[in-house]
Amino acid sequence: MISVEQALEKILSHTDVLEEEPRPILDAMGQVLAEDIYSTIDIPPLDNSAMDGYAVRSEDTCGASRESPRFLRVIDTVMAGSISEYEVKPGTAVRIMTGAPLPKGADAVVRFEDTDETEREEGSAETGILLQVEPGADVRHAGEDIAKGSKVLGEGTVIRPPEVGALASLGRSKVMVIRRPTVAILVTGAELVDVNQPLPVGKIYNSNTYSIAALVRHYGGIPKILGVALDSEDALVSGLHQGLDADMLVTTGGVSMGDYDVVKDVLAKQGEVVFWKVRMKPGKPVAFGRIKGVDKGGVARNVLHLGLPGNPVSAMITFELFARPAILKMMGKKNLAKPVIEAVIEAPIVNEDGRRIFARAIVEKRGGQYVARLTGPQGSGILTSMTLANGLVIVPEDKTRVEKGDIVQVMILDWSEESCRIDI
Ligand code: AMP
Ligand code: MG
Protein backbone atom coordinates (compact mmCIF):
# COMPACT_ATOMS: atom_id res chain seq x y z
CA MET A 1 0.00 0.00 0.00
CA ILE A 2 1.39 3.40 -0.89
CA SER A 3 1.19 6.63 1.12
CA VAL A 4 -1.05 9.60 0.35
CA GLU A 5 2.01 11.56 -0.84
CA GLN A 6 3.23 8.76 -3.11
CA ALA A 7 -0.25 8.39 -4.59
CA LEU A 8 -0.53 12.10 -5.25
CA GLU A 9 2.94 12.24 -6.76
CA LYS A 10 2.06 9.44 -9.18
CA ILE A 11 -1.19 11.12 -10.17
CA LEU A 12 0.45 14.49 -10.75
CA SER A 13 3.33 12.97 -12.70
CA HIS A 14 0.75 11.64 -15.18
CA THR A 15 -1.18 14.92 -15.30
CA ASP A 16 -0.37 17.63 -17.84
CA VAL A 17 -1.37 21.27 -18.01
CA LEU A 18 -4.06 21.68 -20.67
CA GLU A 19 -4.01 23.94 -23.72
CA GLU A 20 -4.99 27.59 -23.77
CA GLU A 21 -8.21 29.00 -25.16
CA PRO A 22 -9.78 32.45 -25.55
CA ARG A 23 -12.57 33.10 -23.03
CA PRO A 24 -14.92 36.02 -22.33
CA ILE A 25 -13.58 37.65 -19.16
CA LEU A 26 -16.53 36.75 -16.96
CA ASP A 27 -16.46 33.09 -17.98
CA ALA A 28 -12.72 32.99 -17.24
CA MET A 29 -13.33 33.34 -13.48
CA GLY A 30 -11.09 30.88 -11.65
CA GLN A 31 -9.04 30.09 -14.77
CA VAL A 32 -5.34 30.83 -15.18
CA LEU A 33 -4.14 33.56 -17.56
CA ALA A 34 -2.09 32.20 -20.44
CA GLU A 35 -0.80 35.60 -21.57
CA ASP A 36 0.75 38.72 -20.10
CA ILE A 37 -1.70 41.58 -20.17
CA TYR A 38 -0.34 44.99 -21.19
CA SER A 39 -2.40 48.14 -21.24
CA THR A 40 -2.90 49.89 -24.56
CA ILE A 41 -4.32 52.94 -22.81
CA ASP A 42 -3.63 55.24 -19.87
CA ILE A 43 -6.01 54.76 -16.95
CA PRO A 44 -7.43 57.18 -16.23
CA PRO A 45 -7.10 58.33 -19.83
CA LEU A 46 -7.05 62.05 -18.94
CA ASP A 47 -6.30 64.22 -15.90
CA ASN A 48 -9.65 64.43 -14.11
CA SER A 49 -11.31 65.62 -10.96
CA ALA A 50 -11.29 63.50 -7.80
CA MET A 51 -14.12 65.58 -6.26
CA ASP A 52 -17.18 67.65 -7.10
CA GLY A 53 -15.95 71.27 -7.05
CA TYR A 54 -14.30 73.91 -9.18
CA ALA A 55 -11.42 73.44 -11.60
CA VAL A 56 -9.11 76.40 -11.07
CA ARG A 57 -5.63 77.74 -11.70
CA SER A 58 -4.08 77.08 -8.27
CA GLU A 59 -2.27 80.45 -8.36
CA ASP A 60 -5.71 82.14 -8.42
CA THR A 61 -6.43 80.69 -4.94
CA CYS A 62 -3.33 82.28 -3.41
CA GLY A 63 -4.22 83.66 0.04
CA ALA A 64 -7.87 82.49 -0.14
CA SER A 65 -9.56 81.74 3.21
CA ARG A 66 -13.03 81.80 4.78
CA GLU A 67 -12.33 85.34 5.96
CA SER A 68 -10.94 86.47 2.66
CA PRO A 69 -12.48 84.56 -0.28
CA ARG A 70 -11.11 84.85 -3.79
CA PHE A 71 -13.90 85.32 -6.34
CA LEU A 72 -13.61 83.58 -9.72
CA ARG A 73 -15.91 83.86 -12.71
CA VAL A 74 -17.64 80.53 -13.49
CA ILE A 75 -17.43 79.95 -17.25
CA ASP A 76 -18.78 76.40 -17.64
CA THR A 77 -19.97 73.22 -15.91
CA VAL A 78 -18.45 69.87 -16.90
CA MET A 79 -19.82 66.43 -16.03
CA ALA A 80 -18.05 63.06 -16.10
CA GLY A 81 -18.04 61.86 -19.70
CA SER A 82 -17.90 65.37 -21.23
CA ILE A 83 -15.07 67.69 -22.18
CA SER A 84 -15.26 71.42 -21.47
CA GLU A 85 -14.62 73.52 -24.53
CA TYR A 86 -13.46 76.38 -22.34
CA GLU A 87 -10.00 77.18 -21.10
CA VAL A 88 -9.59 78.25 -17.49
CA LYS A 89 -7.89 81.65 -17.82
CA PRO A 90 -6.73 83.78 -14.86
CA GLY A 91 -9.71 84.80 -12.70
CA THR A 92 -12.02 82.05 -13.98
CA ALA A 93 -13.15 78.57 -12.89
CA VAL A 94 -15.15 75.67 -14.31
CA ARG A 95 -17.70 73.83 -12.15
CA ILE A 96 -16.57 70.20 -12.33
CA MET A 97 -18.01 66.85 -11.23
CA THR A 98 -16.03 63.83 -10.02
CA GLY A 99 -14.42 62.00 -12.93
CA ALA A 100 -14.84 64.86 -15.42
CA PRO A 101 -11.68 65.71 -17.41
CA LEU A 102 -9.83 68.74 -16.13
CA PRO A 103 -10.35 71.67 -18.51
CA LYS A 104 -7.39 73.28 -20.24
CA GLY A 105 -5.62 75.84 -18.09
CA ALA A 106 -6.76 74.36 -14.75
CA ASP A 107 -4.23 72.59 -12.51
CA ALA A 108 -6.26 71.97 -9.34
CA VAL A 109 -9.75 71.39 -8.01
CA VAL A 110 -11.32 73.18 -5.05
CA ARG A 111 -14.01 71.00 -3.45
CA PHE A 112 -17.51 72.49 -3.08
CA GLU A 113 -17.01 72.32 0.72
CA ASP A 114 -14.18 74.88 0.35
CA THR A 115 -16.25 77.31 -1.71
CA ASP A 116 -19.39 79.34 -1.07
CA GLU A 117 -21.33 76.86 -3.24
CA THR A 118 -24.19 76.37 -0.75
CA GLU A 119 -24.72 80.10 -0.31
CA ARG A 120 -24.21 80.89 -3.95
CA GLU A 121 -27.27 82.40 -5.60
CA GLU A 122 -28.75 80.55 -8.54
CA GLY A 123 -27.38 81.96 -11.76
CA SER A 124 -24.56 83.81 -9.98
CA ALA A 125 -21.59 84.19 -12.31
CA GLU A 126 -19.02 83.96 -9.50
CA THR A 127 -17.84 81.45 -6.93
CA GLY A 128 -16.08 82.35 -3.71
CA ILE A 129 -12.98 80.21 -3.11
CA LEU A 130 -12.38 79.78 0.65
CA LEU A 131 -9.13 77.80 0.60
CA GLN A 132 -5.73 78.12 -1.01
CA VAL A 133 -4.90 74.94 -2.97
CA GLU A 134 -1.63 73.59 -4.32
CA PRO A 135 -1.13 72.57 -7.97
CA GLY A 136 -2.51 69.04 -8.44
CA ALA A 137 -4.98 69.25 -5.51
CA ASP A 138 -7.82 66.75 -6.01
CA VAL A 139 -6.65 65.98 -9.53
CA ARG A 140 -6.33 62.34 -10.63
CA HIS A 141 -3.54 62.23 -13.17
CA ALA A 142 -3.71 60.45 -16.51
CA GLY A 143 -2.13 57.01 -16.21
CA GLU A 144 -1.86 57.17 -12.41
CA ASP A 145 -3.60 53.77 -12.03
CA ILE A 146 -2.18 52.13 -15.15
CA ALA A 147 0.28 53.70 -17.58
CA LYS A 148 -0.09 52.91 -21.29
CA GLY A 149 2.26 50.07 -22.23
CA SER A 150 2.67 48.77 -18.69
CA LYS A 151 2.14 45.14 -17.67
CA VAL A 152 -1.05 44.84 -15.67
CA LEU A 153 -1.42 41.08 -15.10
CA GLY A 154 1.14 38.33 -15.59
CA GLU A 155 0.72 34.96 -17.23
CA GLY A 156 -0.15 32.44 -14.51
CA THR A 157 -2.45 34.79 -12.60
CA VAL A 158 -5.69 33.21 -11.41
CA ILE A 159 -8.66 35.28 -12.56
CA ARG A 160 -10.75 36.51 -9.61
CA PRO A 161 -13.28 39.34 -9.50
CA PRO A 162 -10.58 42.09 -9.24
CA GLU A 163 -8.82 40.68 -12.33
CA VAL A 164 -12.13 40.60 -14.24
CA GLY A 165 -12.57 44.26 -13.27
CA ALA A 166 -9.00 45.19 -14.22
CA LEU A 167 -9.39 43.49 -17.63
CA ALA A 168 -12.66 45.32 -18.24
CA SER A 169 -11.00 48.64 -17.31
CA LEU A 170 -8.49 47.98 -20.11
CA GLY A 171 -11.29 47.36 -22.58
CA ARG A 172 -10.55 43.63 -22.84
CA SER A 173 -13.58 41.44 -23.48
CA LYS A 174 -11.66 38.18 -23.94
CA VAL A 175 -8.43 36.72 -22.62
CA MET A 176 -6.32 33.63 -23.24
CA VAL A 177 -6.60 31.20 -20.34
CA ILE A 178 -5.80 27.54 -19.72
CA ARG A 179 -8.95 25.64 -20.54
CA ARG A 180 -11.05 23.85 -17.96
CA PRO A 181 -10.76 20.05 -17.83
CA THR A 182 -13.78 17.92 -18.60
CA VAL A 183 -14.19 15.24 -15.97
CA ALA A 184 -16.42 12.29 -16.89
CA ILE A 185 -18.19 10.71 -13.92
CA LEU A 186 -19.37 7.12 -13.96
CA VAL A 187 -20.74 5.47 -10.83
CA THR A 188 -21.13 1.74 -10.38
CA GLY A 189 -23.63 -0.29 -8.46
CA ALA A 190 -26.77 -2.29 -9.18
CA GLU A 191 -28.31 -0.74 -6.03
CA LEU A 192 -28.33 2.81 -7.41
CA VAL A 193 -31.36 4.80 -8.51
CA ASP A 194 -31.33 8.31 -9.93
CA VAL A 195 -32.79 11.17 -7.89
CA ASN A 196 -35.72 11.72 -10.22
CA GLN A 197 -36.97 8.12 -9.92
CA PRO A 198 -39.12 6.53 -7.21
CA LEU A 199 -37.07 4.43 -4.78
CA PRO A 200 -37.79 0.68 -4.98
CA VAL A 201 -37.21 -1.47 -1.89
CA GLY A 202 -33.58 -2.58 -1.65
CA LYS A 203 -32.22 0.32 -3.70
CA ILE A 204 -30.57 3.61 -2.66
CA TYR A 205 -30.35 6.96 -4.34
CA ASN A 206 -27.18 7.66 -6.28
CA SER A 207 -25.52 10.53 -4.43
CA ASN A 208 -21.95 10.14 -5.72
CA THR A 209 -22.71 11.36 -9.23
CA TYR A 210 -23.99 14.58 -7.75
CA SER A 211 -21.43 15.15 -5.00
CA ILE A 212 -18.56 14.43 -7.40
CA ALA A 213 -20.03 16.58 -10.19
CA ALA A 214 -20.48 19.37 -7.63
CA LEU A 215 -16.84 19.05 -6.56
CA VAL A 216 -15.64 19.07 -10.18
CA ARG A 217 -17.58 22.26 -10.82
CA HIS A 218 -16.51 23.78 -7.48
CA TYR A 219 -12.85 23.40 -8.42
CA GLY A 220 -13.29 24.75 -11.94
CA GLY A 221 -13.76 21.64 -14.06
CA ILE A 222 -16.65 20.70 -16.34
CA PRO A 223 -18.49 17.59 -15.16
CA LYS A 224 -19.72 15.15 -17.78
CA ILE A 225 -22.23 12.85 -16.14
CA LEU A 226 -22.21 9.33 -17.55
CA GLY A 227 -24.76 7.87 -15.14
CA VAL A 228 -24.76 4.47 -13.47
CA ALA A 229 -23.06 1.29 -14.69
CA LEU A 230 -24.17 -2.06 -13.36
CA ASP A 231 -21.53 -4.21 -11.70
CA SER A 232 -20.50 -6.16 -14.79
CA GLU A 233 -17.41 -5.78 -16.93
CA ASP A 234 -19.49 -5.20 -20.05
CA ALA A 235 -21.57 -2.47 -18.44
CA LEU A 236 -18.48 -0.80 -17.09
CA VAL A 237 -16.55 -0.96 -20.35
CA SER A 238 -19.41 0.55 -22.34
CA GLY A 239 -19.84 3.25 -19.65
CA LEU A 240 -16.13 4.06 -19.68
CA HIS A 241 -16.16 4.37 -23.46
CA GLN A 242 -18.61 7.25 -23.15
CA GLY A 243 -15.97 9.16 -21.21
CA LEU A 244 -12.92 8.63 -23.37
CA ASP A 245 -13.07 12.12 -24.81
CA ALA A 246 -12.80 13.63 -21.31
CA ASP A 247 -9.57 14.82 -19.71
CA MET A 248 -10.17 12.64 -16.70
CA LEU A 249 -12.53 9.84 -15.85
CA VAL A 250 -13.74 9.42 -12.30
CA THR A 251 -15.58 6.28 -11.28
CA THR A 252 -16.97 5.46 -7.88
CA GLY A 253 -17.48 2.06 -6.36
CA GLY A 254 -16.36 -1.32 -7.50
CA VAL A 255 -12.76 -0.95 -6.32
CA SER A 256 -12.84 -3.03 -3.15
CA MET A 257 -12.71 -6.79 -2.65
CA GLY A 258 -16.42 -7.50 -3.18
CA ASP A 259 -17.50 -10.11 -5.72
CA TYR A 260 -18.80 -7.53 -8.11
CA ASP A 261 -15.95 -5.12 -7.79
CA VAL A 262 -14.79 -5.08 -11.33
CA VAL A 263 -13.26 -1.66 -11.87
CA LYS A 264 -9.66 -2.66 -11.41
CA ASP A 265 -10.02 -5.73 -13.64
CA VAL A 266 -11.47 -3.59 -16.37
CA LEU A 267 -8.81 -0.97 -15.85
CA ALA A 268 -6.07 -3.57 -16.14
CA LYS A 269 -7.52 -4.84 -19.43
CA GLN A 270 -8.36 -1.45 -20.92
CA GLY A 271 -5.21 0.36 -19.94
CA GLU A 272 -2.78 0.46 -17.08
CA VAL A 273 -3.24 0.37 -13.29
CA VAL A 274 -0.70 2.75 -11.73
CA PHE A 275 -1.76 2.04 -8.15
CA TRP A 276 -4.55 0.50 -6.18
CA LYS A 277 -4.94 1.06 -2.44
CA VAL A 278 -3.62 3.97 -0.43
CA ARG A 279 -2.71 3.88 3.25
CA MET A 280 -5.52 6.13 4.38
CA LYS A 281 -8.89 6.06 6.15
CA PRO A 282 -11.44 6.55 4.79
CA GLY A 283 -10.62 5.77 1.20
CA LYS A 284 -8.18 2.87 1.16
CA PRO A 285 -9.51 1.22 -2.03
CA VAL A 286 -8.68 4.07 -4.39
CA ALA A 287 -7.30 3.17 -7.81
CA PHE A 288 -5.49 5.23 -10.40
CA GLY A 289 -4.51 4.40 -13.92
CA ARG A 290 -4.86 5.29 -17.54
CA ILE A 291 -7.38 4.01 -20.02
CA LYS A 292 -6.51 3.68 -23.67
CA GLY A 293 -8.85 5.60 -25.87
CA VAL A 294 -9.09 7.52 -29.09
CA ASP A 295 -10.04 11.14 -29.49
CA LYS A 296 -12.73 12.39 -31.84
CA GLY A 297 -10.24 12.49 -34.69
CA GLY A 298 -9.38 8.82 -34.14
CA VAL A 299 -5.94 9.56 -32.61
CA ALA A 300 -4.90 7.32 -29.70
CA ARG A 301 -4.84 8.99 -26.32
CA ASN A 302 -4.71 7.92 -22.70
CA VAL A 303 -7.36 9.17 -20.34
CA LEU A 304 -6.51 9.47 -16.67
CA HIS A 305 -8.75 7.33 -14.56
CA LEU A 306 -9.35 7.76 -10.88
CA GLY A 307 -11.34 4.96 -9.31
CA LEU A 308 -12.78 6.30 -6.07
CA PRO A 309 -14.41 4.11 -3.43
CA GLY A 310 -18.20 3.83 -3.50
CA ASN A 311 -18.87 4.98 0.03
CA PRO A 312 -20.13 8.53 -0.33
CA VAL A 313 -17.77 10.04 2.25
CA SER A 314 -14.73 8.10 1.00
CA ALA A 315 -15.54 9.20 -2.54
CA MET A 316 -15.63 12.87 -1.54
CA ILE A 317 -12.50 12.76 0.62
CA THR A 318 -10.43 10.87 -1.96
CA PHE A 319 -11.67 13.34 -4.58
CA GLU A 320 -10.44 16.24 -2.41
CA LEU A 321 -7.05 14.58 -1.93
CA PHE A 322 -6.41 13.22 -5.42
CA ALA A 323 -8.81 14.52 -8.07
CA ARG A 324 -8.79 18.13 -6.94
CA PRO A 325 -4.99 18.63 -7.26
CA ALA A 326 -5.07 16.95 -10.68
CA ILE A 327 -7.86 19.26 -11.87
CA LEU A 328 -6.00 22.30 -10.54
CA LYS A 329 -2.78 21.20 -12.24
CA MET A 330 -4.59 20.68 -15.55
CA MET A 331 -5.95 24.22 -15.18
CA GLY A 332 -2.41 25.56 -14.83
CA LYS A 333 -2.65 26.33 -11.13
CA LYS A 334 0.49 26.20 -9.01
CA ASN A 335 -0.93 26.02 -5.52
CA LEU A 336 -2.43 22.56 -5.37
CA ALA A 337 -2.59 22.03 -1.62
CA LYS A 338 -5.50 22.73 0.69
CA PRO A 339 -4.54 24.93 3.64
CA VAL A 340 -3.53 23.00 6.77
CA ILE A 341 -3.77 24.66 10.18
CA GLU A 342 -3.06 23.60 13.74
CA ALA A 343 -5.96 23.14 16.13
CA VAL A 344 -6.65 21.74 19.57
CA ILE A 345 -8.68 18.54 19.32
CA GLU A 346 -11.67 18.17 21.62
CA ALA A 347 -11.88 14.36 21.75
CA PRO A 348 -9.42 11.47 21.39
CA ILE A 349 -8.98 9.59 18.10
CA VAL A 350 -7.66 6.03 17.96
CA ASN A 351 -5.69 4.86 14.92
CA GLU A 352 -6.04 1.10 14.82
CA ASP A 353 -4.27 0.01 11.67
CA GLY A 354 -1.50 2.41 10.78
CA ARG A 355 -3.33 4.31 8.06
CA ARG A 356 -3.55 8.09 7.80
CA ILE A 357 -6.89 9.13 9.22
CA PHE A 358 -8.87 12.06 7.83
CA ALA A 359 -11.58 12.70 10.42
CA ARG A 360 -14.42 15.05 9.59
CA ALA A 361 -14.40 18.02 11.93
CA ILE A 362 -15.81 21.43 12.61
CA VAL A 363 -13.02 23.94 13.13
CA GLU A 364 -13.77 27.13 15.00
CA LYS A 365 -11.66 29.91 16.45
CA ARG A 366 -12.16 30.16 20.19
CA GLY A 367 -10.16 32.40 22.52
CA GLY A 368 -7.51 33.08 19.89
CA GLN A 369 -6.92 29.44 18.90
CA TYR A 370 -8.49 26.94 16.53
CA VAL A 371 -10.48 24.13 18.09
CA ALA A 372 -11.49 21.01 16.15
CA ARG A 373 -14.61 19.07 17.09
CA LEU A 374 -15.42 15.82 15.30
CA THR A 375 -18.75 15.81 13.49
CA GLY A 376 -19.93 12.63 15.22
CA PRO A 377 -19.95 9.08 13.84
CA GLN A 378 -17.16 8.73 11.28
CA GLY A 379 -18.58 5.84 9.22
CA SER A 380 -17.78 6.37 5.55
CA GLY A 381 -21.42 6.06 4.57
CA ILE A 382 -22.50 8.95 6.80
CA LEU A 383 -22.66 11.71 4.24
CA THR A 384 -24.43 14.15 6.54
CA SER A 385 -21.20 14.36 8.55
CA MET A 386 -19.64 15.99 5.45
CA THR A 387 -22.37 18.63 5.46
CA LEU A 388 -21.35 19.54 9.01
CA ALA A 389 -17.59 19.51 8.46
CA ASN A 390 -15.36 22.35 7.30
CA GLY A 391 -12.13 20.46 7.83
CA LEU A 392 -10.42 17.08 8.14
CA VAL A 393 -8.32 16.30 11.21
CA ILE A 394 -5.21 14.41 10.06
CA VAL A 395 -3.88 11.61 12.25
CA PRO A 396 -0.51 10.39 10.91
CA GLU A 397 0.04 6.70 10.10
CA ASP A 398 2.58 6.23 12.90
CA LYS A 399 0.40 7.77 15.60
CA THR A 400 -1.74 5.19 17.42
CA ARG A 401 -3.79 7.76 19.33
CA VAL A 402 -4.34 11.46 19.71
CA GLU A 403 -5.59 12.66 23.06
CA LYS A 404 -8.14 15.32 23.89
CA GLY A 405 -6.28 18.65 24.06
CA ASP A 406 -3.49 17.58 21.65
CA ILE A 407 -2.52 19.91 18.83
CA VAL A 408 -3.46 18.32 15.50
CA GLN A 409 -3.15 19.29 11.86
CA VAL A 410 -6.44 20.08 10.16
CA MET A 411 -6.88 20.27 6.41
CA ILE A 412 -9.38 23.01 5.75
CA LEU A 413 -12.02 22.01 3.23
CA ASP A 414 -13.94 25.25 3.24
CA TRP A 415 -13.19 28.58 4.86
CA SER A 416 -16.23 30.29 3.41
CA GLU A 417 -18.80 32.01 5.59
CA GLU A 418 -21.38 29.50 4.42
CA SER A 419 -19.47 26.53 5.78
CA CYS A 420 -20.83 26.71 9.31
CA ARG A 421 -24.04 24.78 9.04
CA ILE A 422 -27.08 25.91 10.94
CA ASP A 423 -27.55 23.46 13.82
CA ILE A 424 -30.47 21.12 13.35
P1 AMP B 1 -18.67 -0.14 -3.28
O2 AMP B 1 -17.38 0.57 -3.17
O3 AMP B 1 -19.21 -0.22 -4.65
O4 AMP B 1 -18.59 -1.48 -2.59
O5 AMP B 1 -19.74 0.73 -2.44
C6 AMP B 1 -19.58 0.92 -1.05
C7 AMP B 1 -20.85 1.48 -0.45
O8 AMP B 1 -21.15 2.73 -1.00
C9 AMP B 1 -22.08 0.64 -0.67
O10 AMP B 1 -22.87 0.66 0.52
C11 AMP B 1 -22.79 1.33 -1.78
O12 AMP B 1 -24.16 1.10 -1.77
C13 AMP B 1 -22.45 2.78 -1.54
N14 AMP B 1 -22.44 3.48 -2.80
C15 AMP B 1 -21.73 3.12 -3.89
N16 AMP B 1 -21.95 3.96 -4.90
C17 AMP B 1 -22.82 4.89 -4.45
C18 AMP B 1 -23.43 6.03 -5.05
N19 AMP B 1 -23.18 6.38 -6.31
N20 AMP B 1 -24.27 6.77 -4.30
C21 AMP B 1 -24.51 6.41 -3.02
N22 AMP B 1 -23.96 5.37 -2.40
C23 AMP B 1 -23.14 4.59 -3.10
MG1 MG C 1 -20.60 -1.32 -5.59
CA-wise closest residue to 80 among 45, 115, 38, 31: 45
* CB of 311 sitting under 6 A from ligand 1: yes
Q: Which atom of ligand 1 is nearest to the CA of 191?
A: 12
pLDDT score at 181: 98
383 exposure class (CB count in 10 Å sphere: 0-12, 13-18, 19+)? middle
- Which mean pLDDT values do the consecutive 10-residue runs of the chain (424 residues) have? 97 98 98 98 97 98 97 97 98 98 98 94 90 98 96 98 97 98 96 97 98 98 97 89 93 80 82 93 93 81 93 97 98 97 97 96 94 90 92 97 98 79 52
Alpha helices in 110-250 (DSSP H): 161-169, 208-218, 233-242
Q: Rounded to the nearest whole angstrom, what is the distance from the C-alpha of residue 254 to the centroid of ligand 2?
A: 5
* CB of 382 sitting under 6 A from ligand 1: no
pLDDT score at 424: 47
422 exposure class (CB count in 10 Å sphere: 0-12, 13-18, 19+)? exposed
Choose which residue among 208, 259, 276 to substitute to test ligand 1 binding: the one with the highest number of ligand atoms within 8 A of its C-beta.
208
Cis preceding-peptide flag for 44 (omega within 30 of 0): yes
Ligand nearest to the CA of 235: 2
CA-wise closest residue to 31 among 151, 129, 160, 134: 160
* CB of 313 sitting under 6 A from ligand 1: no
Residue 387's contacts (CB-CB under 8 Å, 6 or more residues apart) are: 421
118 exposure class (CB count in 10 Å sphere: 0-12, 13-18, 19+)? exposed
Q: Rounded to the nearest whole angstrom, what is the distance from the C-alpha of residue 253 to the centroid of ligand 1?
A: 6
Q: Rounded to the nearest whole angstrom, what is the distance from the C-alpha of residue 192 to the centroid of ligand 1?
A: 8
Distance CA 383, CA 143 (A): 54
Distance CA 235, CA 240 (A): 9
Distance CA 368, CA 302 (A): 50
- pTM (two decimals): 0.91
